[in-house]
């Protein structure tokens, strides 16, 4: 646990940032490579706790991963007799890997960090059971559990409630081409969050030759081989958030290198979020340049589609000089921590005025003071603390090392960017 004094800046932040690869793209590329028809190459993968856990999980299921610098070669799974998978706190590992294990023949036991045992897993367990897969969970509907693969999964029609996490949908779609009948998946229940992440799943399947028919709340994945591919991972635009926020919070200017022209990443929404806070985002060649407003104003935003951006948005809102309302994000209570409770508690501890609502936060202007900002094993809470610390004296972010979940170099890159 390394507590870390967040750097306070006197003036505007001006900097260039080169971000590590996307967690969501890296972990999709690894899963698809592990079930594909030959060796795949993943270039510029994110190397961080969540992707290391994914790589280890797939290796324990029988894949081979040869890790060169900036280039991983993945040989697909050859079945193993049994395995154990450590999911850490990675939603993508705990939701994406059980359907892969269901294709195998031996028992695969899944567990993770203490908090992982509290994250929603019921839909993964019930959907695989509905497809005929045997799972032992001692009646808990959470981690730990054991998947007993029978060598194949029939697939076909399936209805799930994925209102707690889009990852329940993505997980099934990723492996569906390997089900005997493919999959005709419907979501029924509360509104499905994080739609860009589902779009990313569909894009990645199609790039590998899989036919996917889509209509709202329904995905039909045709069975067939997953073509091995040589892919390059985009920079992680969700992790661009704190740097974009540095420009917005200080009337600064931050250039994010290699921002893709077209992408499914949720973090692409930073272009609109910057405008909502009164800033600008302008393309300059391969890069996107964010400029902050003279006065940061509050925002009224429904973040249902891009929930993972909330902690940094909330930090900016706490620095704004008019009130903000953030809605559509009840599902954040099942993330790395209950992010609505954590943000309200920690911002209020620094003198803020945050009210927690059932599905969001109301954040009113208040003079903030220094203090300790707890992070609850949540990388994005650490980002939020760093952003607030730019404009408030003596903010200490507890356990900055938690950023290693998706961005091991965060603290160093932040110091460089803001000093």
Ligand X SMILES: O=C(O)C1=C[C@@H](OP(=O)(O)O)[C@@H](O)[C@H](O)C1
The residues binding ligand X (CB under 6 A) are 24, 91-92, 165-167, 170, 193-194, 197, 307-308, 331
Tell me whether residue 26 or residue 92 sits nearer to ligand PEP (CB atom): 92
Say whether 215 counts as a known binding-site residue: no
Which residue numbers are catalytic? 308
Tell me whether residue 234 or residue 336 sits nearer to ligand PEP (CB atom): 336
Residue 194: name its binding partner from ligand PEP, ligand X, none (Cβ under 5 to 8 Å by kind): ligand X
Binding residues vs ligand PEP (CB under 6 A): 90-92, 308, 335-336, 380, 406
Residue 90: name its binding partner from ligand PEP, ligand X, none (Cβ under 5 to 8 Å by kind): ligand PEP
Determine the Cα–Cα distance for residues 187 and 209; give it in Å rounded to an integer.
24
Q: How far is the CB of 291 from ligand X (least distance, A)?
A: 27
Tell me whether residue 253 or residue 304 sits nearer to ligand X (CB atom): 304
Q: Which residues pair with 41 in a beta bridge?
A: 73, 230
Tell me whether residue 166 or residue 263 sits nearer to ligand X (CB atom): 166
Collect contacts of 342-349 with beta carbons under 8 A, ≥24 apart.
342/374, 342/376, 342/378, 342/381, 343/310, 343/311, 343/314, 343/381, 343/384, 345/374, 346/373, 346/374, 346/381, 346/384, 346/385, 347/314, 347/315, 347/318, 347/388, 349/373
Say whether 119 counts as a known binding-site residue: yes
Q: How far is the CB of 10 from ligand X (least distance, A)?
A: 34
Residues contacting 126, CB < 8 A, separation 6+ = 141, 160
Say whether 167 counts as a known binding-site residue: yes
Burial 113-126 (b: 16+ CB within 10 A, else e): bebbeebbbebbbb
Tell me whether residue 15 or residue 403 sits nearer to ligand PEP (CB atom): 403
Residue 250: name its binding partner from ligand PEP, ligand X, none (Cβ under 5 to 8 Å by kind): none
E runs forming strands in 240-298: 253-256, 280-284, 287-291
Q: Are 344 and 358 in contact (CB under 8 A)?
A: no
Residues contacting 344, CB < 8 A, separation 6+ = 354, 355, 356, 361
Say whether 405 counts as a known binding-site residue: yes
Q: How far is the CB of 159 from ligand PEP (least distance, A)?
A: 23
Say whether 206 counts as a known binding-site residue: no
Q: How far is the CB of 151 from ligand X (least distance, A)?
A: 27
Residue 169: name its binding partner from ligand X, ligand PEP, none (Cβ under 5 to 8 Å by kind): none
Dihedral class, residue 268 (left if φ above 0, else alpha if ψ from -120 to 50, else beta): alpha
Q: How far is the CB of 105 from ligand PEP (least distance, A)?
A: 28
Question: In Å, what is the CA distance from 269 to each residue of 24, 69, 151?
Answer: 15, 30, 41
Binding residues for phosphoenolpyruvate: 23, 91, 119, 167, 339, 380, 405
Binding residues: 23-24, 28, 91, 119, 165-167, 194, 308, 335, 339, 380, 405
């Amino acid at each position: 646990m390394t507590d870390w004094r967040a750097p306070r800046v006197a003036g505007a932040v001006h900097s260039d940032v080169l971000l590590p690869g996307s967690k969501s793209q890296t972990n999709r590329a690894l899963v698809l490579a592990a079930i594909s028809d030959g060796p795949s190459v993943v270039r510029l993968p994110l190397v961080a706790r969540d992707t290391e856990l994914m790589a280890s999980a797939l290796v324990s299921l029988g894949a081979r991963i040869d890790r060169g610098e900036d280039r991983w070669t993945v040989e697909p799974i050859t079945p193993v007799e049994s395995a154990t998978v450590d999911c850490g706190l990675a939603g993508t590992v705990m939701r994406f890997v059980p359907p892969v294990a269901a294709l195998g023949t031996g028992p695969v036991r899944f567990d993770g960090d203490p908090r992982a045992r509290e994250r929603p897993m019921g839909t993964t367990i019930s959907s695989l059971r509905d497809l005929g897969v045997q799972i032992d969970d001692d009646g808990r509907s959470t981690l730990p559990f054991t998947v007993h693969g029978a060598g194949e999964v029939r697939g076909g029609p399936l209805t799930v409630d994925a209102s707690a996490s889009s990852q329940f949908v993505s997980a099934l779609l990723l492996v569906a081409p390997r089900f005997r009948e493919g999959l005709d998946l419907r979501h029924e229940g509360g509104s499905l969050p994080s739609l860009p992440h589902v779009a990313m799943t569909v894009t990645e399947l199609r790039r590998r030759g899989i036919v996917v028919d889509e209509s709202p709340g329904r995905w039909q994945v045709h069975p067939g081989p997953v073509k091995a591919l040589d892919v390059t991972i985009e920079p992680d635009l969700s992790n661009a958030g704190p740097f974009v926020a540095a420009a917005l919070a200080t009337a600064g200017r931050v250039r994010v290198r290699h921002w893709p022209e077209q992408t499914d990443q949720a973090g692409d929404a930073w272009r609109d979020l910057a405008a909502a806070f009164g800033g600008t985002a302008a393309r300059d060649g391969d890069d996107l340049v964010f400029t902050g407003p003279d006065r940061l104003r509050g925002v009224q935003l429904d973040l249902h589609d891009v929930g993972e951006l909330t902690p940094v948005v909330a930090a900016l809102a706490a620095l704004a000089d008019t009130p903000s309302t953030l809605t559509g994000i009840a599902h954040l209570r099942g993330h790395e921590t209950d992010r609505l409770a954590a943000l309200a508690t920690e911002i209020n501890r620094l003198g803020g005025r945050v009210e927690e609502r059932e599905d969001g936060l109301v954040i009113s202007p208040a003079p903030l003071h220094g203090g300790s900002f707890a992070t609850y094993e949540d990388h994005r809470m650490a980002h939020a603390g760093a952003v607030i610390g730019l404009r408030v004296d003596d903010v200490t972010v507890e356990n900055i090392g938690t950023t290693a979940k998706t961005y091991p170099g965060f603290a160093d890159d932040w110091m460089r960017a803001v000093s």
